[in-house]
């Protein structure tokens, strides 16, 4: 991992799994977790509405934990204890439950992070197509760009457009080294990122396929 990759290294067992509880020690002096009291937990209206809409999409409202945490992360920029408490309050869950969900997934940040997420897939398909150099280049650019949160990811599930990246959730690919600067420029401008390479606009993953076929 590059010295300026902003994520701390994750301790792992020899077989590769994460060491449980690697980042936050359990505070045994804390009282048992309870659902935050709505009377003392103010929740911004917009966030409350997003969480409630997510809960309405599932037979069991608890299933909305991930979209609700995403909403809170969008609102706060990361997931401070205050954000977790707000989600817990609306969902009538304990903060501990939501923290266990958030700490499992790399997309959730339990520490402050730069605003824009650039996840470069470095798994085997993308790696064979040059993803490691792209990841290194993005890391270099992040050194001069305080808003860039660059991480390498295992397969993002879009191997057919590799090498690819997810930029604030938008899948782009196949990308090359020149595209890295363009990604940073597009993010600076606040417009769409590499619009011509966004997966959502592709009729077919194969760039050589006949668009009319
Ligand atoms: S290997 Fe990169 S998206 Fe699957």
Domains identified in the chain, total number = 2
Distance 76 CA to ligand 1 centre (A): 29
Q: What is the pLDDT of residues 116-160, one digit of tens each?
A: 999 999 999 999 999 999 999 999 999 989 999 999 998 999 999
Task: Say what the pLDDT of residue 68 is.
Answer: 98
Long-range contacts of 34-38 (CB under 8 A, 24+ apart): 34/94, 35/88, 35/89, 35/92, 35/93, 35/94, 36/85, 36/86, 36/88, 36/89, 36/95, 37/89, 38/89
Q: Is the CB of 159 under 6 A from ligand 1?
A: yes
Residue at which a domain ends, from 111, 139, 174: 111
Task: Say what the pLDDT of residue 3 is.
Answer: 44
Whether the predicted pLDDT of 212 surpasses 60: no
Distance 164 CA to ligand 1 centre (A): 7
* Measured distance CA(173)–CA(175) in Å, rounded: 5
147 falls within a domain: yes
**Higher-pLDDT residue of 208, 129:** 129
70 falls within a domain: yes
Q: Is the CB of 172 under 6 A from ligand 1?
A: no
Find the domain containing 55 and state its range.
26-111
Same domain for 51 and 104: yes
157 falls within a domain: yes
Same domain for 97 and 130: no
Length of the chain, please?
213
Task: Say what the pLDDT of residue 11 is.
Answer: 66
190 falls within a domain: yes
Ligand 1 binding pocket mutation candidate from 154, 163, 164 (most atoms within 8 A of CB): 164
Ligand 1 binding pocket mutation candidate from 125, 130, 197 (most atoms within 8 A of CB): 125
State the pTM of this model.
Answer: 0.76
User: What share of the chain has pLDDT > 70, as a percent?
Assistant: 84
Whether the predicted pLDDT of 59 surpasses 60: yes
CATH number at residue 179: 3.40.30.10
Same domain for 130 and 79: no
Helix intervals (H) in the chain: 45-55, 65-76, 81-91, 95-102, 124-128, 131-143, 177-189
The three state secondary structure string of 134-147 is HHHHHHHHHHCCCC
């Amino acid at each position: 991992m590059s010295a300026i990759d902003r994520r701390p290294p994750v301790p792992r067992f020899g077989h590769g799994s994460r060491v449980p509880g690697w980042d936050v020690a359990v505070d045994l002096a804390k009282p048992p977790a309870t659902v935050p009291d709505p009377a003392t937990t103010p929740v911004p209206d917009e966030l409350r509405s997003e969480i409630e809409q997510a809960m309405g999409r599932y037979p069991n409202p608890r299933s909305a934990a991930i979209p609700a945490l995403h909403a809170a992360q969008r609102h706060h920029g990361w997931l401070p204890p205050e954000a977790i408490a707000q989600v817990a309050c609306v969902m009538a869950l304990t903060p501990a439950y939501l923290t266990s969900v958030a700490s499992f997934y790399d997309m959730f940040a339990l520490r402050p992070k730069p605003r824009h997420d650039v996840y470069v897939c470095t798994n085997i398909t993308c790696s064979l197509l040059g993803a490691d150099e792209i990841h290194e280049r993005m890391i270099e650019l992040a050194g001069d760009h305080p808003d860039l949160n660059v991480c390498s990811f295992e397969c993002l599930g879009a191997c057919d457009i590799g090498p690819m990246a997810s930029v604030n959730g938008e899948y782009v690919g196949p990308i090359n080294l020149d595209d890295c600067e363009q990604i940073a420029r597009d993010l600076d401008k606040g417009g769409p990122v590499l619009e011509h390479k966004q997966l959502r606009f592709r009729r077919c993953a194969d760039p050589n396929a006949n668009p009319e076929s």
